[in-house]
Chain A
Amino acid sequence: MSARERVAGTVANYVDERTGAAKWLKKNLKKVFPDHWSFMLGEVVLYSFIILLLSGTFLTFWFDPSMREVEYEGSYEPLEGLKMSAAYASTLHISFDVRGGLLMRQIHHWAALIFMAAMVAHLLRVFFTGAFRKPREMNWVIGVGLLTLGIVEGFLGYSLPDDLLSGTGIRIAEAIIQAVPVVGSYLAYFVFGGAFPGEVFIPRIYTVHVLLIPGIFLALITAHLMLVWYQKHTQYPGPGRTEKNVVGYPLLPVYMAKAGGFFFIVFGVTAFLGAVASINPVWLFGPYTPGQISAGSQPDWYMGWLDGLVRMAPPLETHAFGHTISWNILIPGLIIPGIIFTGMALYPFIESWMTGDKREHHLLDRPRNNPNRTALGAMSLTFMLVALINGGNDLIATHFDLSINQIMWGTRIGIIVLPPLVFVITKRICLSLQRADRDLVLHGRETGRLVMLPHGEFIEVHEPLTPERAYLLTQHEQLPALAVPETDEMGVANPQGARGKLRARLSRASQEQIPKPSVDEIRELESGHH
């Protein structure tokens, strides 16, 4: 036994005698993780969260979350002698007078953008592959919670420097709060400690940004990962992969090295972006004052869709009985986002109700094999993209020489017309892909080789698929649609009433499939029909 092994043994013995960890570890050090590039998306979220904690902690050492008025005396000359809040002045101090401060600010901001982008990409992967199905519905709900919190956290973060751009964002948030019927103006006065902007807002959101939300994040991410660990990761279908097993690499050493290495890669890329790509140059905007604004005001991308919705809202307000309701703010600012996020959180339950499928699923769907879900996802994505495009309408107008008017009307019509259109097209594409899969299995791969038969006919030689590929294309289930329950045991016709009918209709739509090759067809094929 080498000296190193002896030391390791002593340490392991010490820990195990006090915690009994060896029993758990012996099993879990060999835990199997399936390997696929799309499983890295969630990892990117986790790693950028760690980067955010590290870089954010660094920033707090100098940032002064106060709206006390100070005169700027730092080394950035254009703002010399200007009155501004201590928050803005300390942000300038970090940017110009702390070595590596600007780098850390930019890493922090880039990491936030990557955090949100990876979260959305991870969500799409989970959605389109059906990874949210039983038993993982709870983890999906936690994920939706994380996404919602992430948007809020990001918004609060870029509001902290108290520059002209971020102050304008806060003004808009204040208007949304104020628009809430009955209690809006009270809520706004409570949040801002009086009239907007007041002097308490920055310190308040600072506590929420660095303590409250990161704390909730940490708890939710822990629960999210524990569930992944406990339920074991899903896997893509393929030869040897079933609902009962999990195929992949053991945690130690391969997965550990890959995942650990990947953390450093993500951090390295973020640092590279922070080094070369300027982001949120707050010194150019100047300190916040409610009487001024910078042209081309843009929120960060994950807020852009919300801004786009607000921009395209029709100018509707109701004045009645001495009260005002601002539909032009409520609908795009609260009602539509509320519907989107609630619908998203409930989707796993809606789908399982629609299909009547209450079984556990560990094998992922190929998106084409669930045309309805894939089309629904594409439809929602289209809605968000049209909104996002309108959120950048001023920049698009100047870059592509269009008028704001054209883009606004284009997106107003587009957001109603395009999503259903995309739904139909996506569903058709999925069914076509299913048909192509079926043809591949039954007729083999086109080789491009033409052969003349003795009687003069030309045929193209088709090569049969490998058994692995043929299995992959036929392993999925095709559930029959639910029927309207006709009569119950007491003889009552359709006991569930309209609900049962609706469910049967949705189920029919969601089970629309191209029948995959049947056992008989395959047998016929194998008996040398071709």
Chain B
Amino acid sequence: MSKELTPIADPGLPEHQHRKTDVDPRAAKKAERQVAILFSLSALGTVLFVYAYVGIDQDLLIFLPILGNTNAHQLFLGLGLAMALFFIGMGAVHWAKTLMPDHEVVDYRKEQRSTDEDRAAFVEAAKEGAAAAGIGRRPVIKRTLGLALGLVGISPILLLRDLGPLPEDELEKTNWAAGVRLVTDPGDRPIKPSDLEVGGVAQVQPAFPAGKKRKLEDIAKDSVLLIRVRPEEFNLDPERLSWTHEGIIAFSKICSHMGCAVALYEQTTKHLLCPCHQSTFDVTRAAKVIFGPAARPLPQLQIGVDNEGYLIAKAPFNEAVGPSFWERDSA
């Protein structure tokens, strides 16, 4: 920094102030004792840790203010470890601050840049190396090496191909089909309209043929929420109204935004809320989005009853369920 930029001259490093421990041997002795006490506290912590490990029952619960019911084994293990570590640190820092020399030292910096000679020598060496390899004189080698290096990156990328199958049209499809019964989740029991009272909600899955196991991938697409309201509360176009049955309406439970389970149903307002990002859907208006970041209503499932009076799907979903993706065709 040039002189004219600093109107007040640098007074230089302030004079060194001696600490009490530097001039008074009794203060130094006291600091020494303090450090020793801190290190001893650490040793005590380790003793506490060992005692907690072998001596405190793993299931022992004790009541403590603020913390409430706490597992004593885990608590004292932790406190012991914390003490053992913390006081080593405190001791060392106290030692450094009170007893080790506190004279500030000045060191000098040099510019990062190398000297001009060094830089010139480096350029020379690099040129010499390149010339020795003859890369400039042999263009065929240069070009084929470029080709090889450009292509070699393909192999590791290609190797990742088998990480998973291609999606094909799987994202568009669920296990719902015409005539498939709705079964409770959990329980796997078929249900009748009378099982669901007005104001009630039930989570259902498509019935699987005996022997087929329901996997999490199925649940991630098939989960459906049944909600029963009084039929006159619906505000649906005739087609969508025909998809309901005696006031029971069925929606995909997988959020059309990012795929969370849309689990919160507010009975008074007839709103479904996704707890992840608070997209809110109006049940009486075919799950229209009334708030939040979701851009599409929850897909509605067409339901009815079979001859035995059990609820069935009358058709598969007419659009993909869950979050959007590039190939998704339906608006």
Q: What residues make up the interface of A, taking CB atoms closer than 8 Å to B? A: 30-32, 75, 99-100, 102-103, 106-107, 135, 168, 171-172, 174-176, 178-186, 188-198, 200, 231-232, 239-240, 242-250, 253-254, 257-258, 260-269, 271-272, 274-276, 288-297, 307, 310-317, 319, 322-326, 328-329, 332, 360, 362, 393-394, 404-405, 408, 441, 467-468, 470-471, 474-475, 477-478, 516-519, 521-522
Contact = CB atoms under 8 A, between A and B. Distances in A.
B212 to A, nearest CB: 15
A264 B83 CA distance: 10
Contacts of B261: 168, 290-293
A155 to B, nearest CB: 15
Given A100-B77, A296-B275, A326-B295, A240 B106 contact: yes
Given A194-B164, A196-B220, A310 B293 contact: yes
Contacts of A253: 96, 100
B79 A183 contact: no
Contacts of A258: 92-93, 96-97
Contacts of B322: 175
Given A194-B164, A245-B109, A261-B88, A323 B327 contact: yes
Contact of A261 (B92, B219, B220, B326): B92
B242 interface: no
B139 interface: no
Interface string B58-70: 1100000001000
Contacts of B82: 268-269, 271-272, 274-275
A262 B93 contact: yes
A244 B1 CA distance: 9
A261 B89 CA distance: 4
Contact of A324 (B10, B166, B328): B328
Contacts of B9: 471
B17 to A, nearest CB: 13
Interface string B23-66: 00000000000000000000000000000010000110000000
B89 A315 contact: no
A193 to B, nearest CB: 4
Contacts of B295: 315-317, 326, 328
Q: Which 10 A-B pairs have the closest CB atoms?
A: A275-B78, A268-B86, A261-B92, A264-B89, A240-B13, A265-B89, A290-B220, A175-B258, A257-B96, A268-B85
B78 A272 contact: yes
Contacts of A240: 10-14, 106
Given A271-B82, A276-B75, A314 B93 contact: no
B253 interface: yes
Interface residues of B, number: 99
B203 interface: yes
B152 interface: no
Interface of B: 1, 4-14, 53, 58-59, 67, 71, 73-75, 77-79, 81-93, 95-97, 100-102, 104-109, 111-112, 160-161, 163-167, 170-171, 185, 203, 205, 216-217, 219-221, 223, 253-254, 257-261, 263-264, 275-279, 289, 291-296, 322-331
Contacts of B254: 290
B251 to A, nearest CB: 13
Contact of B260 (A254, A293, A360, A404): A293
A404 B81 contact: no
Nearest to B328: A324
Contacts of B167: 185-186, 188-189
A198 B90 contact: no
A28 to B, nearest CB: 11
B275 A295 contact: yes
B5 A477 contact: yes
Contacts of B260: 168, 171-172, 293, 297
A360 B110 CA distance: 10
B11 A276 contact: no
Contacts of B279: 315
A288 B108 CA distance: 59
Contacts of A325: 324, 326
A186 B259 CA distance: 17
A102 B293 contact: no
A242 B2 CA distance: 11
A193 B164 CA distance: 4
A191 B165 CA distance: 10
Given A288-B216, A408-B292, 5 more contacts: A171-B220, A262-B89, A265-B93, A291-B203, A328-B293
Given A196-B220, A274-B78, A310-B293, A265 B96 contact: no
A197 B259 CA distance: 11
Contacts of A246: 106-109
Nearest to A407: B278
B323 A175 contact: yes
Contacts of B73: 99
- Most chain-A Cβ atoms within 10 A of its Cβ — which of B253, B263, B325, B331? B325
Contacts of B101: 254
A265 B83 CA distance: 9
A225 B11 CA distance: 33
A47 to B, nearest CB: 10
B205 to A, nearest CB: 8
